[in-house]
Amino acid sequence: MADTSGMQDLRAEDIDRIVRGFALQEYKFKQIVMISSSNAWKESYYQETATELSGGTGSAVKGVPRLANFPAAEVSWTKQSSYVEKYGIEDVISWEDAITNNIDVIARTLLRIARAVTKAVDDEIWDVLTESQSPSNINSVTIAAGDEWDSATVANRDPIQDLLNARKEITKDNYDMSSGKGFALVNPTDFANLLGNANVVNAGQFYTDQPSKNGRVGKIVGLDLIESNSVTDDYCLVGVKQECATWKAAIPLQVHVMIDAGIKYTIRAFEMGVTQLINPAALCLIENTQA
């Protein structure tokens, strides 16, 4: 049957498209992980040990004698498992508000629903990639007390060196930080501290502006600078895009609109997935929390 302009099918399709459009701009961290589909409730993967191989006690890789057997080494992996999670939210709008309010409550609700789902996903990605800000597998750099990006002693602030130190730790594990896939995640406060630093202001080659998109606000020391409120205060995460982790998408973002004619609109958005930390050595957490 043909639909007229006011029927539910067309309204639902339009709302679904609007929410998806908002969401694509609100996601900040999905751009740094590999996206892979999933059709299972439990997802397992193997996390490679970051420690460099050695010949073992008394069997150095260097200096193998003539006719001697080569030292034995063994690459190891640890099996990890995780379960997909559901992210969702809904709002109910009265029929009267939808058609008579001075504010476009439908549009505002769509925007806020999109933000709520994407923020929850970004929060989860941040938590997994930083190991809840308690690094055990990923690299880490701790800024000495008094040298914080907002240190009272301005001369002690050196965020560029801190970012270079993080790059160094990742490169030492044989990840290519010059490939154009490097990133640095910061929150708005540390973004301001970073861009206001004299070393950055006085040396334009360290920072370049670029059109803002999905939180990307520039490039510094070869890293895409991504600003987000999902980043915990006084932390910065440096890494290699798509190599560090995977988002296993069981159900991509969906939007459903239930219309109870003459009474209400119910707008519901949800998705299902899980973040997997595949290559922890491709990440380095900078801690800027010393008192």
Range of the domain at 189: 139-245+280-287
Same domain, 100 and 207: no
Closest C-alpha to 190, from 180, 200, 181: 200
Tokens at residue 264, please?
A: 């209400």
- In this structure, the number of other CB atoms found within 10 A of the CB of residue 159 comes to 27
**Domain for residue 61, yes or no?**
no
Same domain, 17 and 115: yes
HSE-up of residue 142 (Cα within 13 Å, Cβ side) = 8
Same domain, 218 and 263: no
**Domain for residue 235, yes or no?**
yes
**Domain for residue 108, yes or no?**
yes
Exposed (0-12), middle (13-18) or buried (19+): which is 225, by Cβ within 10 Å? buried
- In this structure, the number of other CB atoms found within 10 A of the CB of residue 105 comes to 17
- pLDDT tens by residue, the chain, 291 residues: 444 444 444 455 555 555 555 555 677 899 999 988 876 656 666 666 656 666 666 567 777 888 887 877 767 677 666 678 899 999 998 988 888 877 778 778 877 887 888 889 999 999 999 999 999 889 999 999 889 998 888 888 899 999 999 999 999 988 988 888 999 999 999 999 988 888 777 766 566 666 556 667 678 888 999 999 999 999 999 999 999 999 998 888 887 788 898 999 888 888 999 999 988 999 999 998 655
Same domain, 115 and 199: no
Same domain, 222 and 237: yes
Same domain, 238 and 146: yes
Closest C-alpha to 273, from 259, 257, 288, 253: 253
H helices of the chain, in order, are: 8-26, 95-100, 105-129, 159-172, 188-195, 198-201
Q: Which amino acid is it at 28?
A: K
- Contacts with 51 (C-beta within 8 Å, 6 or more apart), sequence order: none
Same domain, 147 and 241: yes
Per-residue three-class SS string for 54-110? CCCCCCCCCCCCCCCCCCCCCCCEEEEEEECEEEEEEEEEEHHHHHHCCCCHHHHHH
The rounded distance, in Å, linking the Cα atoms of 126 and 223 is: 17
Same domain, 220 and 235: yes
**Domain for residue 93, yes or no?**
yes
**Domain for residue 212, yes or no?**
yes
Q: Which amino acid is it at 16?
A: D
CATH of the domain at 240: 3.30.2320.10
**Domain for residue 64, yes or no?**
no
Same domain, 123 and 12: yes
CATH of the domain at 26: 3.30.2400.20
Same domain, 104 and 201: no
Same domain, 213 and 257: no
Domain count for the chain: 2
**Domain for residue 58, yes or no?**
no
The rounded distance, in Å, linking the Cα atoms of 169 and 281 is: 8
- Name residue 37's beta-bridge partners: 249
**Domain for residue 269, yes or no?**
yes
Same domain, 29 and 166: no
Assess contact for 116 and 89: CB atoms under 8 A: yes
